[in-house]
Structures are given as C-alpha cells and as structure tokens.
Amino acid sequence: HTADFTTEQLWARPHELTSAGFHIRHIGGSIDRLATYLRGGALSPEQLAALKQEGEPGASREELLAAVAHAMAACEAYLRTIDPATLRDARGIGRKQLPTTVHGLIVHIAEHTFRHLGQAITTIKLVRALG
C-alpha cells in the first residue's frame, strides 16, 4: 500500500485524521510494548519516550517498515518460546496493570495490529484520492 508513497504523503493528515505514518509507527511500537507485558516486564524509559514521539512526522517509509519488521520478528521469536501450559498465566497491561492472560495478550497484539493496519490503509487510500 505504501510502495510509491513519499514521506510527506505518509505523514499527511487529510481532514485532520491521524496520519498513516503514525499508524505504521504505532504498530511497531505497540507490538514491542505489548510483547514486554507478555514477558511479564515493565516498559523501559526508552519505550515510554518512543510512545510519546509516535505522532511526530518525518520518518521515511523504509524506516517505519523496518521498525515494524524488527518488532514483529522479535515478538514472533518470543511467541515461539511460550509453553502452551502458560497461556492462562496472569499478566498486567500498563501502569494500572489491567488484568489479562498470556493468551489474552497474544490475541490483543494481533487485534491491535490489524486495527491500526486498517486505519493506515484507509488513510493511504484517502491521501491517494485527494491527490
């Protein structure tokens, strides 16, 4: 969907919508953060800083897609190590440690990723239509 998109197009906000660049960057960042919770960890200062900067324009298509690929590969590698016997183990999300399970977090990673992918594709189509 982004093959011929410029950096400017990726960060465009047609009708004040969130940019496709944000959604793509957020996919990589959210996978990384949710995978941290999946491992039972807490977010690092670097992850928190990256979260605050997700909407800042400027990263190129290549940079955004490389970050997504890296986050997905790291998450996949960890998913392959999970013992199915631990799928019901408790996990917490966020500062409030909202309760979930290992299985719940795996499903949430997929759902959250697809939600933002859909929003990115819709925004890309709108940017194209508006010329």
pLDDT tens for 62-87 read 999 999 999 999 999 999 999 999 99
Burial class for 2, CB neighbours closer than 10 Å (0-12, 13-18, 19+): middle
CB 35 within 8 A of CB 75: yes
pTM (2 d.p.): 0.94
Tell me the chain's radius of gyration from C-alpha atoms: 16
Query: What's the mean pLDDT when you consider all of the chain?
Result: 97
pLDDT tens for 80-123 read 999 999 999 999 999 899 999 999 999 999 999 999 999 999 99
CB 105 within 8 A of CB 34: yes
Strand, helix or coil for residue 63: helix
